[in-house]
Each structure stands twice: as C-alpha cells, then as structure tokens.
Structure 1
Amino acid sequence: MKKKAVQLLAVLCCGSLLLSACSKNQAAPPSAEPKGSPNAANVNPPGQFPVVKDKITLKAAIRGSSLVEDLKTNGYTKWLENKTNVHVEWTILDEKSYQEQLNLLLASGNLPDVLMNLDVSPEQQMIYGEQGMFVSFTDLIEKYGENTKKIFKEMPEVKSAVTAPGNKIYSLPYINECYHCSLDYKMYVYKPWLDKLGLKEPATLDEFYQMLKAFKEKDPNGNGKPDEIALIGGEPKNAIKSQVDVFLMNSFIYDDGLKRMIVKDGKIDVVYNKPEWKEGLKYLNKLYKEGLLDRQSFTIDKDGLKKIAENPDIAIAGAIPAHSPSDITIVEGKSGRWLDYQPIAPLKGPNGAPKATWLAYDKIRQGEFIMTSANKYPEATMRWADAMYEFEAALYSNFGIEGSSWEKAKPGDLGRDGNPATYRLLIPFGRVQNENWAQYGLNYRTDKDYYAGQAVLKQPDKEKMYYDITKKNYEPYKPKIEEIVPPLFFPSNDAQQLADLDKTINDYVKSSIARFVTGDADIEKEWNNYVQTLDKMNLKTYIGIYQKALDAKKGG
C-alpha cells in the first residue's frame, strides 16, 4: 500500500480508529467474492443441522465483556457448537481498548477468520473490502443465508443499511429492534404536580409554557420554598437523550438530535439554518429568560439529572427530557418517581402537526460480523452466522440456558402487546454469569418476538409501560422513513473531508444552540451571521458529500 494511502487512513480514522497499512501477506484480490471453497462439500444445506458434517475450527477475535466469565466455557458457546458442529478459538480483545487492538491486528497480517462485535466502521469496511482483506457476503447470503434473506425481506431497510456501493456486504447486520428506543427523545413530566395544580397534559407549546410557569410559581411540591425547577435538560455529550432542544424543536422543524438532517424528495438538507429552527430557538430562549429552563441545562450530566429527579424527601423537578425513566430516576426505586414521571406527546407548534424523533435505523448495528481473507470456510461461516439469527439462539445468546434463565411461555401468558407470550424470563439481564454472551455475537431481536413477546409476570412491568406509552404518545408522530437519512458508505477521499467538516459544523451548531438559548448571542442580531458562518464552513460541500453517498446507495 502506498504511503499516501496510509496517511489517508491515519487522517480518516485518527485516535482510537487509527488504521494501519496492510500486510503484503494478504493475497486475496480486491473486492473478492468467494466462488466456492474446497471445504464447501463439508457444509450441509441451509436449514439442516449441524452446519458441517465434520467439525471445523474458526478463529474469531471478539470484544471482551465484563458480564461474561469465560467465553470458551460459556453455556451459549457450548449450545451453538453442539448445534452447528463449529468450534471457535477465541482471541478476546480488551473491552475498552479493543479498537486500538483491532488496528494492530489488521496491520499485523495475522488475521483471524472472523471479527466480531468490534464496531468496524463503514469506511474501514470499504477500504479493507476493496483491498480484499474483508470478504463480501453478498453471494454467500444468496446461497446459504436462509435467515439473513428472511430479515432482508421483512426489513428492507436492513439490507440497504449494510450494502456498500457495488452491492458488497462486508458486515452481517446485528438487529436489536427496541420499539420504545426507536422513538427515543421523550419529555417526562412529573404527574403529581399536574394533578395537584389541576392541569391537563399540555398539547401545545403555549400550554407547555403555562404548565412550566405554574410549576415555577405555584409551589407544587408544597414546601413553601421557591425551589422548583420547571424544566431542565442535559449536556449534549453525556446526556444526549436529554438535550433540551430536540423534543421542543420538533414542534417547529424535525430535529433528530444528531446530524440534524432530513431528506425531502430524495434530497438531503440540514435543518439548523432554516427559519423554523430560528423560531424554535426563540421559544427556548423565552423559557430561559423567564427562569423556566434551568441554567444547568447545557452543562449537567446524566448523574446530575438523576440526583435532581431523585431529590430526597421532596420532588423539585417538573419536566426533564430523557430516553426512559432509567435515565433520570431509579427504576423500581423506593421513591417511586420512575412511575411519577410520565412522557407527554409532541406539542403542536406554529405549523400544526409536530414530529417525534424516530431513530429508524438505530436497530441496525454495522461492523459486528466481518469475515477476513484468512477464512478457509466461508460457506460454513455464513451458515454458522446465519444460525445466530434464530429466535432460540437469541434467547440463549442474551439470557442463557433454557430452564435456568428462561423458559417457554405457559398457557395464558400474555406478552407486553397483549398477545400470547413467547417466553418467560426467569433471571434479569445484566448480571455477571457464564450462560450467555451478554448481547454479543449476531442477534435478530425483533420487538414482536423478543420484547413484546416476553411474558408479563408482574405489575408494573417497566418494558410494557415503555411500550404502551410509546405506542400511544409517539408512534402517531413519527416521520416517514423516506425523510430520514439512512446509514451511508463514503469512499475514502470523501470520508477524510467529511470527518473534518462534520466536527467543525456540528460543534458550531451545538455551541450556537447553547448561545442563542441562553442569550449569550442575540438571535435577532446574530442569526444572519450564524447562517453565513455555516456557509463559510463549506456547508454546501458537506451536504453534497452526503447526497453523493445517498445517490450511490440508490444506484446500488
């Protein structure tokens, strides 16, 4: 690899994503598709187990997990080997520094057969795929990917998300369809205060404003002190789902809380230089000036928000944006506030119908299962990976052994959606154990089967509560999927430029939100300068790179 290309990789993936030059030992041709290996005859047809007639051994590098005692002797490891006849020799990378270790592994030329749960970026997939170090699964899926093809049919957006230009699929998808997580930027309001003040749940921006004024001025906690915090948000890095602008800005213009981009008639654009964005900032500034939006809202982290929401003895916070009660309260804690804070629906704004931020592609994780050119068993590897998508495999992978951690549903068991349940969970997820992979490997966790399908064995059931309130208050307001920017692959020359532009522009947008809302910058006097500054930062070029990648995806 030429020196210039090495320098490009270093710039593209600086820091923890630093990529190194490739070893001369890699002999696979660029963008190679497996044409059928000498070991294909050992592989049983799709749907037939075990995967291989005679046992094989795959070498896999995987990120370590603090929740798994020993991957080699793990219950799911043994179950999967018994089912597939595929033995695995594990190289376990450090849970925190795994990306640096991955880069060294790629540079060494001593590749394992498979890379698992190492968050290999789309840029890395394209670079190493074009060099032949990563093998495309496209043809293998067609011949051996029975479950993978089913996923692509049921969720076409998944295939779109993982397919690189040239119809190359370098990473099999990891699916975690958490319904309430996909509609994630909610506004939680302390319901006992609404009840005490005789207020109904606000439906418009003005009603929300009046509610906050009542929280601030009418002593809803009844202690005779002006200690009520009407509304507080969190700082954008540590408490990203508690950013104060997202929920409220959606009453003016769509805000996804991340890149703040939209797609209209196939064209990508940003929202933060539009008149509607300006009006949203003016509304937030009004709340701030009147003391209804707490001054800590751009600096406080998740732990700080939880301390405020769980203030001892008496409640002091009225409204807090969050992902779920677990972000701001102690779920099933003694205070009971995890039940008292309830999410309200998006608020009607100047343009009528509001939106709810929909993370339509958040269920899809890329770069979790990569096959390298060192692999001598591509057909068996495809079938082994495909087996992990089965529902029973998901239960073993995420919970553990049947009868120990979970069991099949009993007659009369109902799931969280009110339909017959699929299984019962016997031991909660999250403990250190040696039965499951703690959500590693490949997964196909659908909302219907995995989340809604779990039997409700006690009340209140937190997941059912999250499901019901999301269905009622947020599902009706989500945008069309065509309006959302999908995951994109960028060629290396564009990715380098994009990395610089992305940080410069989005850091400026975030800081400007804080400055306009707090009044550090006068929005009427400085708005035009703000828009012009974005233009000088090459916003047009930035949008153009995204548009080019979107057009390439549509072109296949």
Structure 2
Amino acid sequence: MKAKRSSKLFLIISLMFVMVITACSNNNGGNNAPAAPATNAPSNNTPANNNGTNAAAPEELTLPITEETTQLDMWLLGDPMFRGASYNEKPSFATMQERTNIEINWVMGSGANGPEAFNLLMASGQIPDMVLYTAMITEGPKYGQQGAFAPLTDYINQYAPNFKRILDENPDVRRLITSADGEIYHFPNLNLDEYLMVQMFPQIRQDWLEKLSLEEPKTTEDWYNVLKAFKEQDPNGNGQSDEIPFVSVNLQTMFKIFGPAFGTDWEFYLDNGQVKFGPIEPEYKEAIGYLNKLYSEQLIDPNYLVDTEFKFLTEKVTNDRAGAWIGWAGSYMRSFTDLMADHPSFEIVGTEPPAGPNGDQRFAFHAWPVTNLGIAISAQSDNIVEAVKWLDFQYSEEGIMLNNFGVEGVSYEVVDGYPTFNDAVFNNPDGLSATESLLAYTIGGGQWATVQDPRYAEQYDIEAAIEAKNKVSPFVDYDVSLPPFTFSTEQNDIITPILADIRTYRDEFANAMVMGNRPVDDFDSFVEQIKGMGIDRVLEVYQEAYDNYMSVE
C-alpha cells in the first residue's frame, strides 16, 4: 500500500468533535420532543441573518434518538453495484439503527433514468420522509421554495449540533447550501479537504510517450504535437494506423480542459466578480478553432458524438488504441491499470492542465466543498425532528467513519491510527471488485449526506493518481469558477426556458464548428443568435444570484 498522507480532514474532525457522542437515553425524541418550528411558515430573515451563527448552540446529540424504534422512509435511486437486497444489510446502516433506534425503510427509484424517476416522485405529491438525490443542490431549493421540502434552518439550529458546527466553521458551505430565499433545504455531501477537490484530470499513455521519446505535454502546442505523433508513429506497435490520439465522450469534457487555456470556459465563469458566458466571448472562438484543428487532423476521436458511454472508452483503452483522455482517478486510472495488467508496458500518468498561447492555465474540472448530492426532508413528514437528528448523526465523528469505512473489524482496521480497508474490500473472497465489495459494507463517503474522508479516496487512488492530483491542484482558481449557487423561483422561471434553448443551440453549433460542418468564422453569427435568444437577461439574473450568494455570512 502506498505511503499515507497527512490528512487535514482528520485534524478538522478531531477539533470539531471534541465532545464524543455517547449512547444514553434521552427525552428529545418521540412524543416528548419540543415543538418543531412551523414547516410552512415563510422566513422573515434576510439571507445574511438567517444563518444561525448567533443562535444559541443546540445541545449535543444524544443516542438513541428515540426511546422506541421509529421507522423513516428514504427514497433514493438504486445502485446497480450493490449486490444485496436491502441497504439495511450493510453493517454501517445496521449499526446506525442499533445506535439511533431509527429504522430506515428504503424506497428505491429506478436508476436507469434518474431525473425522470425523481421528477415522477415529486409530481406524485407522495414524498417519503427523506429523499436522497444526486442533484439536490439545485432541486432542493427549487422544491423547497414550492413547499415540497421542509425549510431546515431553524431545525438545524435546534437539533443538529454536528452539522451546525460544520456550517459555523465553514462559511463557504453555508453559502453554497443557502437558497435564494435565505433557507436551507437539504443536508449535503461535503468535501472539506483539498485532496478531494480534484477528481477528474487529463490522462495520457506514459509508455507511448517513452516509446516515441516525447515529454509530457504542458501547453496546447505540446498537446497538438504529442497527439500528432500518436497518430502518425504507431505507438501501439501493431503496424496499423489505428490509434485514437485523444478520446472523449462529449465536447463539454474536452472544452473544460482546453477552453481555460484560451481564457474561457464552456458556460458561465467569473471575471473579477462579473459573471460571463463563455460562448459569447472572443476567447471561445480561439478554443473552438484549436479543437477544430485537432479534429480535422483526426487527433480527436471522430466518434465522440456517438460513443458517449464509459464502455466505449474502456474498449478503446483495453484494445490499446486510446492515447489520452479525461477521467476519474479511481474508475478510470485505477480500473484501466487493473484491466491492462497483462500488458506489461501499459502505464498512465495524469497531466497538469495545458497552458495556452497567452499563458492562461487553469483547471476547471474541480469539485466544491458542497457536491450536488444531498438529502432533503418532506414538508409533509410527521417525523421532521427525528429525521433531522438522524441526518445530523451522519456528520458526527462516528457517522463519518461508518459512512466512509463501514464497521471497524468488519471492512477496515485501524493501523497506526489510519483506517485501513482489509481483505474483505480489497481482496474480496467472493471475487467482487473493490467498489462492489465496499458497497456491501457501507454506502461510501461520496454517495451520502456526510463528510467525505480523504483517507477513503487515498486507498482507492493508485500512486499515479495521487501524483496527478498534486500536479493539478495548484491550477484550481475559485475566483474564476462560478459557484453552484441557487436561484429563487422567480429567477428560475426567467432563466430556465431561455437557457434550454441557448444550450441546445450552443451544443449543435459548437459541435458543428469543431467537426468542420460549419466554419469557425461563423462564430460572430453564433454569438448574435445567442444574444438574440436572451443571454443578456440570463446574465443579469446570474449576477443577481451570485451577488446574493456572496452576501450570505
């Protein structure tokens, strides 16, 4: 196993949770609970004052939450990699039930079409006590302002000491989950360690570079030269010109890597606090022109608009045809390395984002302290207080460990103070992959309303991925990247129909320019069309929402 890194999050957790959660009887749950705040009453507080930082600190969470076993319903999309019949089979959730006296009834939605399943649930009006969804950062405020999800700020102040402590110590987290109306509508999945901010990055065949005596590309010009060599010099050595120098599953992914090298982005970004829309800025034309050059010389996969699934990239990598791509540390770099174990020369390295002709260099494919995933509570639930307390447990020291690693002695051991996955996970006796086996024991820190522990990711990342993240991290610029803030219902009503049309047009025209079906010189008419569709009004709303986000303290 690789050397262990000093974990900043471990120190944060140790400082945050100086009072260890102890199991004892309480009178805060069940029928003896204090009166809950009204769930349908609008907040009279402004966003800057509705943050609870001056509110009296809630009492420490005591366990069990209720004297008698209480059942709460939880809707979520099923995970195809989980092999069991019920999530209650996972030792982590079984332990939670023992500790909290809360039993979860899992209501599984169809994972085949997540947005459709979620929309059907919300349209039905029959919302379970809790809803886990991958896009809750936007859908929570949207449906919360419509009255479907409970406003949680007052509940958090009164019943969620662990989560409130995190909000008080991390103002950016509070800003990111505070809706335009000043309320909080969901418990989020959190990244509180810089190691977790980089998850995808450019990856390239190191063995191909070495075979052709090439250096790792640093600039857009380097990338062009390397990809051209991959195309023309037969690095896989089969005597055929079958190499695909750069493979991508869509234009957006490519643009998020190469666009910042020209000082732009795929969509919205910040320029000294001003919100801009990349496709109408002149730098966008330069980036499109560069990608068109790569495509016209067959340096980009000609099937990128068709082969949009991970399986196609996997096939091209394992058939020794793909030279470079953009991917995750675990599911791409680790998986490809494992799959090519019988190919002794196969080696992947991650690269820093390319520098452009004017020296621009920025990594736009990064995470935020708050991910898109989270859990909301139904405004119709009869057990809002119990649900809040149970969710608060997920942010306790014990809850974080259960969600990231499972149960000590079952799926991990503590070795020199470091939670280390054992053979049940990394050498599963039933032949399951590391991901499949871990999901038999816990839900995983990145798929739940909890704090992700970097020690979880470290053990899944091979050494090359750790090195790649270290290369990329210095080029993350949060002053340029637009935060995933939320909009009011009125703002959404303005921008949603306009952006739907603009994005459809942008996708069609940008792909046409890259593929040579429209000349890049048509860019001016492309911009005029987007302006005629109302992008200036959208930018006004985005600026208002961003300024409102920045006002939250």
TM-score by length of 1: 0.77
Question: In the alignment, what sits opposite 2:70?
Answer: 57
C-alpha distance in 1 between matches for 2:96 and 2:350: 41
SS at match of 1:161: helix
| Residue 247 of structure 1 pairs with residue 247 of structure 2 | no
Aligned residues of 1:61 and 1:93 also touching (Cα < 8 A): no
Shift of 1:352: 0.8
Q: What is the one-letter code of the residue matched to 2:262?
A: F
Question: In the alignment, what sits opposite 1:77?
Answer: 93
- Of 491, 505, 525, which aligns to 1:529? 525
Question: In the alignment, what sits opposite 2:466?
Answer: 467
Alignment of 1:178-217 (within 5 A): 182-217=197-232
Question: In the alignment, what sits opposite 1:344?
Answer: 351
- CA-to-partner distance for each residue in 1:178-198, whole Å, 9 max, x for gaps? 867643452222112211221
| Residue 317 of structure 1 pairs with residue 322 of structure 2 | yes
Tell me: CA distance 1:451–1:322, structure 2 relative to 1, closer, same or farther (3 Å): closer
Tell me: CA distance 1:541–1:341, structure 2 relative to 1, closer, same or farther (3 Å): same
Aligned residues of 1:28 and 1:133 also touching (Cα < 8 A): no
- CA-to-partner distance for each residue in 1:44-102, whole Å, 9 max, x for gaps? 97435314462352432322445242244543333112222334455444445776666
Unaligned runs of 5+ in 2: 1-37, 45-56, 426-433
| Residue 306 of structure 1 pairs with residue 311 of structure 2 | no
C-alpha distance in 2 between matches for 1:310 and 1:422: 33
Question: In the alignment, what sits opposite 2:149?
Answer: 134
Shift of 1:367: 4.4
Question: In the alignment, what sits opposite 1:277?
Answer: 284
Alignment of 1:530-549 (within 5 A): 530-549=526-545
| Residue 169 of structure 1 pairs with residue 167 of structure 2 | no
- CA-to-partner distance for each residue in 1:278-331, whole Å, 9 max, x for gaps? 1122222222233333422333223222222111xxx33322233347348634
SS at match of 2:435: coil
Aligned residues of 2:180 and 2:488 also touching (Cα < 8 A): no
- CA-to-partner distance for each residue in 1:224-251, whole Å, 9 max, x for gaps? 3333333332235xxx6xx333322221
C-alpha distance in 1 between matches for 2:114 and 2:298: 45
Unaligned runs of 5+ in 1: 1-26, 34-43, 412-419, 455-460
C-alpha distance in 2 between matches for 1:104 and 1:185: 31
Aligned residues of 1:183 and 1:357 also touching (Cα < 8 A): no
Aligned residues of 1:170 and 1:371 also touching (Cα < 8 A): no
| Residue 519 of structure 1 pairs with residue 516 of structure 2 | yes
TM-score by length of 2: 0.78
C-alpha distance in 2 between matches for 1:145 and 1:300: 46
C-alpha distance in 1 between matches for 2:215 and 2:519: 34
Deviates more, 1:383-392 or 1:334-343: 334-343
Tell me: CA distance 1:432–1:475, structure 2 relative to 1, closer, same or farther (3 Å): closer
Q: How many residues align?
A: 487
C-alpha distance in 1 between matches for 2:508 and 2:120: 36
| Residue 384 of structure 1 pairs with residue 390 of structure 2 | yes
Shift of 1:464: 4.2
Tell me: CA distance 1:178–1:508, structure 2 relative to 1, closer, same or farther (3 Å): farther
Aligned residues of 1:391 and 1:444 also touching (Cα < 8 A): no
Q: What is the one-letter code of the residue matched to 1:282?
A: G
- CA-to-partner distance for each residue in 1:341-381, whole Å, 9 max, x for gaps? 22222222122141111433275235413252433452x43
Tell me: CA distance 1:349–1:117, structure 2 relative to 1, closer, same or farther (3 Å): same
Deviates more, 1:389-398 or 1:399-408: 389-398
Identity of aligned residues (%): 24
C-alpha distance in 2 between matches for 1:105 and 1:287: 44
Q: What is the one-letter code of the residue matched to 2:321?
A: I
Q: What is the one-letter code of the residue matched to 2:175?
A: S
Shift of 1:104: 6.4
| Residue 554 of structure 1 pairs with residue 550 of structure 2 | yes
C-alpha distance in 2 between matches for 1:231 and 1:103: 36
Question: In the alignment, what sits opposite 2:413?
Answer: 407
C-alpha distance in 2 between matches for 1:216 and 1:133: 54
C-alpha distance in 1 between matches for 2:500 and 2:462: 36
SS at match of 2:180: coil
Aligned residues of 2:249 and 2:304 also touching (Cα < 8 A): yes
SS at match of 2:338: coil
